[in-house]
Structure 1
Amino acid sequence: MKQLLDTVWQRRGTSWIWDEEARNQVCVAREVWSLRQFVQAVGKWPEDLPSNGNNTLVVAGLEGGLDLLTPEDAETWLGDSMKQATLSFQDAYDGQAALIFWLPSGQGRIKFHPATDSVEWRCAAPHSDRLLAFGRILWGEANEYPQEILLREGSKPAGLFHLRIT
């Protein structure tokens, strides 16, 4: 998987971050939207985004939403509702804004497969033995993306970045 040292993820595309330092680079806690606010904004996006000089929207709650559902329902919800909301955001800002999903436990839940560049999400108990095909569901396994976000050379990944989901 390609690695990204650039800060483009703070201004463009869609990211899933789990590193607190990375999140703090783009917003303060009061600027983070709930998943509910995000879903309610579909089709009526604000002119000004709350973070990073009106360039960024940070959303918390995706992992909680996934955890409340069975793996089958989570896959459907992620592929239908969440993907459509993400596409709506991209279209509304013509790709000129960043959508960041804050996943505090993402580092332990995202599973990379280096041989195929596929990305999976480990479900929560009682389904912790199951994996969702996160990459296939959200970006169709487009192998040029996602990229691992690195905050500095040699650091552990802080998240994943995808420039444009189709």
Structure 2
Amino acid sequence: MRPLRDPVWQRHGISWIWNAQARNQLCTASEVWSLRQFLQAVEQWPRDLPSKHGNTLVVGGLDGSLDLLTPDDAETWLGEEIKEAILSFQSHYQGETALIFWLPCGQDRIKCHPATDSIEWRCAAPDTDRLLPFGRILWGEANEYPQEIFLRDGSQSAGLFHRRIT
């Protein structure tokens, strides 16, 4: 997976971040939308987004919602509801804004396979032995793989960035 040190992920594309410092660079806690707000806004997107001078939307709650579902239901919901909402957002803003999912436990739950660049999500108890094919579900047909976000040289991964999913 290619590393990304450029802050382009704060202005464009779709990202999944788990680093608190990265989230704090984007917005205040009051600017984070709930997953419910995000899903309700589909096809009724606001002109200006709440963060980064109206160009960035940070959404919290995806991880908790996945944890409430069985692995099979989570896979279906992620591929149908969440992906469709992401595609709607992308289409409405024509790739000129950033959609960022705040996953505070993501570093422990996202599993990257360097040999294949595949990304999986570790399910919550009692299904911790199950992995959702996160990348295949959300960007399986994309022409490029996500990049791993680093805030500075030598730091741990802060998240994943994808320019555009299809």
**Structure 1 length normalisation: TM-score?**
0.98
Alignment of 1:119 onto 2:119: yes
Change (3 A) 1:142 1:115: farther
2:60 corresponds to 1:60: yes
Q: Residue 44 of structure 1 corresponds to which residue in structure 2?
A: 44
TM-score, normalised on structure 2? Answer: 0.98
Q: Look up the equivalent residue of 2:84 and give its one-letter code.
A: Q
Deviation at 1:10, TM superposition (A): 0.2
Match of 1:8 in 2: 8
Paired with 2:20 and 2:103, the residues of 1 have a C-alpha distance of 10
Counting matched residue pairs gives 166
| Cα distance, 1:61 vs structure 2 | 0.3
Structure 1's 140 and 103: CA in aligned 2 closer, same or farther, altered over 3 A?
same
- The structural deviation recorded for 1:154 is 1.5
Seq. identity, %: 73
**SS of the residue 1:112 aligns to:** strand
Superposition misfits of 4+ residues, deviation over 4 angstroms: none
Is the alpha carbon distance of 1:120 and 1:72 closer, same or farther for their aligned partners in structure 2, counting shifts above 3 Å?
A: same
Contact 1:16–1:103 (Cα < 8 Å) also in 2:
yes
Distance in structure 2 (CA, Å) of the matches to 1:150 and 1:106: 14
Gaps of at least 5 residues in structure 2 are: none
Match of 1:146 in 2: 146
Deviation at 1:143, TM superposition (A): 6.9
